[in-house]
Each structure stands twice: as structure tokens, then as C-alpha cells.
Amino acid sequence: MVDEMAANIKLKRMESSLQSRDVAGVHDFVLLENYGNEDAFIDNLKKRFNTDLIYTYIGPVLVSVNPYKNIPIYTDDVIKTYCNIHYFEAIPHIYAVTDTAYRALKEENRDQCILISGESGAGKTEASKKILQFIAVTTGRKPQVESVKEKLLQSTPLLEAFGNAKTVRNDNSSRFGKYMDIIFNYLGDPVGGSLLNYLLEKSRVVMQAPGERNFHIFYQLLSSADTHLLDKLHLSPNTYYHYLNTSIVAIKDNEIDDVGQFRVVKRAMDVIDLSKEEQENIFTLVASILHLGNVGFTETDKGTASVNSPETISTIAKLLGCDADALTHALQQKTIEAKGETVTTPLNREFAVFARDALAKAIYDRMFTWLVRRLNDSLTPTEEVTKTKVMGILDIYGFEIFGKNCFEQFCINYCNEKLQQLFIELTLKSEQEEYFREGIEWVPVQYFDNKVICNLIEERHKGIISYLDEECLRPGDTSDLGFLNKMNIHLANHKHYISYSKTEKKLLLQTARDEFQLVHYAGKVTYSVHGFVEKNNDLLFRNLIEVMAKTDNAITKSVFTLKELESKKRPETAASQFKKSLANLMQILISKDPSYVRCIKPNNEQTCGIFDEELVRHQVKYLGLMENLRVRRAGFAYRRSYELFLKRYKCLCPSTWPTYNGSARDGVALLVQHLRFEKYEFSMGKTKIFIRYPKTLFLTEDAFQMKKNDIAKLIQRKYRVYIARKRFLKMRWAAIVMQKNIRRFLAKREVRRRLVAVEVLRRLLKGFITRAGEPTDDNIAFIQLSKINYLNRLAKNLPTSLIDRRWLPCPSPCREASLVLHRLYRGQQARKYRQALSPEKKRQYELKVLAERLFQRKKKSYPSSFPVPFTEARISNELKQHKTQYETNQLVPGEKLLYCTAITKYDRHGYSPRDRVLLLTNKAIHIVDTRGFKVKHKLSLDSIIELVVTSESDGLLIVRIPLDLKKDKGDLILKCENVIECVTFIIDTTKKANALKITNTPTISHHMIGGKEGQIEVTTGPELSFGKNKMGQLVVTVN
């Protein structure tokens, strides 16, 4: 693929600039300066051939030189390059010719034909394949159209197998002329086709020149790997076949893939709808011809022929389905009907061989004609198509000049004379019509008119064909020399006919007496009259026709009919038939718009890279290319429509660049004025400009090439702007689309959200209304939602402090859950609070809790004590020093001071107050004086029976002790400012909460020594005080 791209780039570069013409030549011979010089013509062809530019124009005519190698210029990508472009907008190519013809057919509704000519090996068949390839790739893809295109493509290998052969000049030489019509519908799609074949070289069936082969199908069939088919046909590759070994070429040819080609032929037969039976019948006839060539004859003493290989006759009869004796009889005898009588005459050996060969040629020729007809049936449009147009492709033998030229070469060269005559007439006619349309004065062109040669050959009663038919039809023995004598007598004075007697003396030794010369437009050709009469008669004995008509083979039964025997009219001669078919072909071609492809063979070795100038010169001459060039150059070398000329060269003039708003003709007038064209160098037609000299065009083109850099920069700048704006517009469009879609998405989402919200509200409202009723989906959902909402609100409004006892009110369905949650949350808060407490704080709160349990709602002074923190040493700083000493010196080991406070002690007798300090340890209560901390009382904790306080706000504390403790002289009467704190410490130490007694009686008794009791009176007064009444009792006054 890379090589193909590189080759295409190389070719385009070489053609893109006329500055390269010294290397690659000019792409159109019309642009040659010395156009009348044949050497300049050949040199231009050679330059292009050496640079792989095998195509060159002569105006609308394409000249193709066979490169004998594969050049990557026939890919589908190349085909697309040549689709719908002007003929001269790309480098010369056969695709350009095809596209021009196809567009004229489709757009202008005119029938077209492409005439391909050239000698054997010049590439005519390949050119026709490329035309079909182009049509197949560029037309429609409907199943019916594809079927037709496939049939058209497959018709080529099928006809090549039966009509082509290897010759000394070409390994795949077409030995017949072919004209194919492709039928198009109004859409321009191929819907069918038809074929006409001309002058099959059937003599090749029985005889080939040295170094040549028979038709391909014989070798393909023998080389096929289908042993079952070969056995059925009684064939073997190792068997000698006379019709294949009459030349020195062996059956096997390493340069020809017969096995692969046979598979291609089989596939082609399937594509064109040949049934299995029809295919078998064809192969049976091919095999029968091979066997027929092996039928030999001996001559008896009576001079009659006798078949010496009856087993071969039996094989042939078995294959054809006829009677073996009848076939033998037909090969040995001939039957003539004259004046109502039937006369049977034995044949000698020579005539028997002639009859055998004639039968073989007739079978093959009629089978080939049947195959073409069958192909036409397959290509017939399946449906009735209106407004059809056709494109014809004529692939016919080119002018032939061999060492020995016979009847076939005479017919071929006659055909080329007719085509050349048509070519010159149509070319001159088109030139004249164009000049007339454009209002340009026509200059008469001097050219060789070959009508005189055509008349020499075909004129009625005076032409060569008439003299040949006269010799063939006259009574008595006919001969080739008799035909030659007639021509020598009647055509002796014709300047284009040269008999032996008119031959120059120096050429007499090279010319035989049975030869004559014709001066064709391409030069002199010497013909040998040997075989002219025989081949023109093309006779087949009645016996053989009758046997073939009675065979079981469907093909032979259809092409050999008994009606032939009933006709008393002598069959038309081969030359007359060819003349008539050629006249019909000329009528077909003249009714269509022609395109021309002239094929040239560069060498006889069929080798790439060799350019034989003499061989090419010879072909240039007989193809009439110089004549064509002179006609084309009559007057003006170059012409182009104003629109195309202005479009290409407008950049050379400031007045026309970049756009010209006036008419194209006025723009071209400004352009040529700016370029300073001389008046004699150009002429202005109605729609085209005509330039007389190639040099004028070259200078214009060179200026254009130099201007390309500026144009390229301008194009780049414009293109970048275009691309940037295109990208911007695309991005803006994309943004708008995105915004639109996002807005639509958001709007749709909002609508859905609102719809859902409405539905939810409706259900909630219904659930609210029916919340107290029977459970339904709505009220269950409402209750569930209310629970969820309550929990969400609760989560946002939970108390942040342990002392904050607020709790969010709950709906009735959540009451039980709310209580549980409240309890759990308070517990969690308390736990978290406790875990965060320091040991001191924790001790403080434990004491406070104990005090609450002991005094809450029991003693009036408790609320005032609540906010006051408890302390372990409620004494002055002076006393704290004594406390420390006391703690160190007086406490026994294991005893620890827990609490101390200043108190007032009242005597049991007289109730005199005394300042003391109460020290609480883990084992006892020490009452010491304030001066030296001398112990006045020491009560073990176990000896304390009861602690008595009042319910009032006083600080009275009575410590009841056992009566047997005589040392302490009874209960201790104490006044303590922080009585609640003191009692709490004592109870916390003793762990005896029931030892506390809170009384609200007006008198409180206390024990004294000796079992006596004293009374303490509790009264109310304006202020708190401790004193004595008249009776000497302790009175506690509370407010």
C-alpha cells in the first residue's frame, strides 16, 4: 500500500508542473512544439514510458503504451480520483476517458462507445477490463445492479478462455473481435448488456504457427485437477492430441496458470447462469474436438479414405450422442444434391482430413457463437427498463503485418481500414463542428483519405472481396491462383494494389508469385493467396451437418439444424459475412459519441523497461496517430472553456484575482491582456479561448507554477482561519446544545421533583386526616414519617448539658420511644460526665450526693449549703499549722485525718460555750482546743450511737455516745457553722446513714453523766442565736 501511494505521488508530481516536461514529456501531444515531426512524437512517448507514465492524450484520444509490469494506478482510490472531474484536470488515464464517456451518457443522455485498437500484445484486453472495473466501482450497489456488474466482469475471463490464445507476440492474444454494449438505466446503473463477436480465428483449432498454442480452454481442461471430469470425457494430460501438438509449444506452459484459470472459468460459468448440464455439454464439445483431431485416415488401393482409429470414433460418438457408423460414413464420404438427385462420393485421404478439420472448426466456431448468445441472454435486463442508454466497448484486433499474411490478416487489416476511415471522419467532423460553434474560421486539413483502400477491398463487383467470392462461386475447380489472376487483370492499374509483375526488381527475390501487396494507410502488406478460397468458402459437407443435427448434445442440436440442408441457397462466404457485419458495426459506432484508446506495444519480448523505437514508430504509423495529431493541431493547439481557463489562471492578473464578478469571457480578455498575448497567438470563441502555439501555453503555465507559492500561503492563511472559525462554531454549537440539554434535564428533574412532592403531600395529608383510623398505607406512611421527622428534630435539639433537663415534646406515636430515648440519653450524658470527672470532683460530688440523700427536704439550711463546695479543712491558716503538727505527732499509725472544722462546744452543765476544733480521722473524732490542739475528747467512730440535728437552719449537732463512757461525761453538744458538711463527712466515714436523726421537736434531750438528761429548747426568733433561758437550759433560736 505504501508503494502504491509513493508511486501515485511520484506520477502526480511529474504531471503537476509543465516545468518537468523535459523529463516526463508533455501529457498531450497537441502541446508538442514540433508536432509534425515523428521523431519528436516517439521521443515524447519514450520519456513518458521511462517514467511509468504510460498514458498520453492526443486531444480526446488516449494513447496507451503497455508497460509489461504492474503499476499501482488501478486501485479503488485512484478510481475515486477520476470520478466526476474534468477530462484534463488529472493526469492522463483510461479512467478519465471512461468517466468522461459515462458522464456524457448519464448527464447528456447520449449513447457512447469506446474504441480500443492496437496490435496483439499492446494491452487492448487489459484496457477493456479497466473500463469495466471503473464502471463496476463507480455505479450503484443494488443487488440487481451488482449481479449485472459481476456478469459483465466475469464475461471477460470466460470469452478469453474460448477466444484467446498464446501467440509469438502475446501470451493472451484475442483471436476474435468483440463489441460489448453495456445497458444503463436512467439512474446511470448498468442493468444489462449484449455482445457481438467478429471473425473468430477458427483455423487455430486445427493448426497453429510455430511457437503458438491453441485456444486456452483446451489446455485449461486438460490441466484441471478434476479427474472425474477428465475420466468422463476420456481425456488424459499425458495423451498425445494432434490439434495441440501441431506446434512446438508443449501442453504445459510455465508462464500460463492453466489450472487457476480453469477455476476462474468455472466460476464465470456459474455467474452467467450456465447450468451444470450446459457446462458439461460445452466441455464435452471441447473434448470431442480433441478426440476428433486424433482421428486418422489411410488411403485404400482405390484411392478412398478409411478411418484407421475406430475406437476414437466410438469415443466421439459416445460423447456427442450420435451413431458411430454415421459419423464414420460422414468423414469418409460426401453427399451432394443436384437437380433433385443425391450423389454420394467417397473422399480421398486429403479431403477426409479436410472434412475432419472443417468439422472441428465448425463445432468450435458455432459453440463459441452459442456461448456469446447464451451470455447475451444472461445479460438481458430482467425487467422492462425505459429510457436506457448504452456504452459500447470495441476490443478488436489491430493492424497485423506478419512474415506470412493470410486470409485472416486480410480481414483484420480491412477492419482497421474501416475503423481508421471512421476515426478520421468523426475527428474531422468534431473539429469542424467545434470551430463552427465557436465562430472560429476552419482551416482545411491535409490528410490521407483511406476511402480509396476501403473501396479497393469492398467495392461491389470491383473490389477484392467480390473477386474472391466470384472465384469461390464459379462452376468447376476453384483455386487461389485463379483468384490472384482475376485481381492481377482487373486491379493492375490501381495504385494501391501491387502484383508480382508490378513489384520492384530489387524486391522480386523476396516476393513469391502467389502473393500480392496492398498499400494500406499504415504501409505495404504482402499477402499470400494460399488458403483464401478455402477459408472464404468455409464449407462443411452435408453428411457432417446431418450427423451433428442428430446428436444428443443440446448445443450441437441447436447450432446444427436440418433446416440448413433444406435450403437450396449457397451459404454466404466468410468474407461477405465479415463485410456485412463490419458495415453493421460501422452503423453502430457512427450512431454513438466515440472515445478512442490507441494501444501500443513497446517491444516484441513482452519485457518491461524496453522501448523499441522502430517497433513503436511502425505502430504509430499504422494507428494513424500522426494523422490524428495533425487534424487536432489544425489551427490551434489548445482550447479551453472560459470558465475553466479563468478558474486556473485568474491568479496571474490583479483584475481577476481572487474573484471576478463579470462574465468569464470578459475575465479571460482581461487576463490575456495582462499576460500580453499577441493577437495572432490566440482567438476568442463564443465559449472557449483558442491558443495557437504550445509555447504560449507553457509560458502561462510556468507563470502559474511560480505563483503557486503565494497562492499556497494565502490558502493556508484562509484555511487556518476557516478551521479556527469552524472549531469555534462547533464548540459554540456544542455549548448551546449542552446548555439546552442541561436546562431541559434540570427542568424535567424539577417537574418530576414537584410531582413527587405533590404526591407525597397528598399522601401525608391523607395520612394526617386518617392517622387515628384503621391502618392504611397512607396513615402508616404518615406515622412513619412523623416518627422520622421527630427523630431528626430530636437529633438537632438534644440537651448539651447534664443539668439541662429539657426534652423535645413528641407526637403520641413516639411517646414510649421518647421516654426510652430520654432515659438512655440522660444515662449516656451522666456516664460521659462521670468519666470526665477528676478524682477531687468525683469525691466532691459523692459527698454532695450523700448530703442530698441525708438532708434534702429534711433540713431548711440544706438549699443554702448545696452550691457551697465541701472542703476537708475548714479552719484558719493559723490553726492549719497546729493541724499539721497534730497530724504528725498525735495520730497513731494507720490513722488518717479526713476532715477538720472549727466548732463551739457547750458544757453539759451550764452550757458554757468553748471554742474547739473537730478533727475527723478514719478511726475517731478528736475534739481539741484552739490553742495548742490539746485533746479534750476522743471518740472512736464505733462509739457514736447517733448524730442529732434539727430540721431548722441552725448549726446544732448532738453526738450521742454510750452512757458507759464516763470519761466523756455524756453526749457532746456542738455548734458547727457547716453542720451539713460536718455530718456528711462523719456519715461518709462511718458508712452509717441511719445514725443521723433530724428532729423537728421544740425540745431535744441529751444524756449527761450519771444517767441524767438535759433539755435543749428550740424556739423561733428574729435571728439565729444560742443562749440560756431562766431555768438555765440551752435555747436555740431560729428564724
Instruction: Provide the annotated active-site residues.
Output: 120-121, 125, 170, 173-174, 398, 400
Residues comprising the chain, all counted: 1039
Q: Cα(627)–Cα(443) distance, rounded to whole angstroms?
A: 15
**67 φψ region: left (φ > 0), alpha (ψ -120 to 50), beta (else):** alpha
Residue 273: what residue type?
D
Under 8 Å between Cβ of 155 and 168: no
Residue 927's alpha-carbon distances to 85, 431, 678, 799, 997, in angstroms, are 133, 155, 151, 48, 21
Please, which residues have CB within 8 angstroms of residue 567's CB and are 6 or more apart in sequence? none
DSSP reduced 3-state for 1005: strand
Instruction: Find, among 337, 333, 339, the residue nearest to 356 by Cα.
Output: 333
How far apart CA 122 and CA 88 sit, in angstroms, is 24
Contact in structure between 342 and 333 (CB atoms under 8 Å): no
DSSP class per residue in 481-497: HHHHHHHHHHSTT-TTE
750 contact partners, CB below 8 Å, separation of at least 6: none
What DSSP character marks residue 405? B
For 1034, the enclosing helix (H) or strand (E) is strand 1034-1038
Return d(Cα 574, Cα 410) in angstroms, integer.
Answer: 12
Among 194, 255, 180, smallest CA distance to 219 is for 255
**Nearest CA among 56, 114, 167, 122 for reference residue 612:** 122
b/e code 707-728 from CB counts within 10 Å (16+ = b): eeeeeeeeeeeeeeeeeeeeee
Per-residue cell: 88: 484534463
C-beta of residue 914 within 8 angstroms of C-beta of residue 905: yes
Q: Which amino acid is at 570?
A: R
* Number of helical H runs and strand E runs in the chain: 34, 32
Please report, for residues 847, 974, 983, 991, 1002, the alpha-carbon distance to residue 994 in angstroms, rounded to integers and kept in the order given: 16, 20, 12, 9, 22
Residue 542: which of 321, 343, 316 has the closest Cα?
343
CA–CA separation, 491 and 485 (whole Å): 10
Measure CA 327 to chain center.
Answer: 62
Q: Which three cell numbers stand for residue 43?
A: 521521443
Q: Three-class SS of residue 213?
A: coil
Of 369, 300, 405, whose CA–CA distance to 558 is shortest? 369
**Residue 684 CB burial class (10 angstroms; 0-12, 13-18, ≥19):** middle
Cell of 792: 431528626
Alpha helices, DSSP H, located in 875-996:
877-889, 979-990
For 67, the 3-state DSSP assignment is coil
Helix (H) or strand (E) holding 181: strand 177-184
Closest CA to 917 of 927, 909, 925, 905: 927
User: Are β-strands 389-395 and 112-117 bridged in parallel, bridged antiparallel, or unpaired?
Assistant: parallel
Q: Residue 558, CB half-sphere, CA atoms under 13 Å: how many?
A: 14
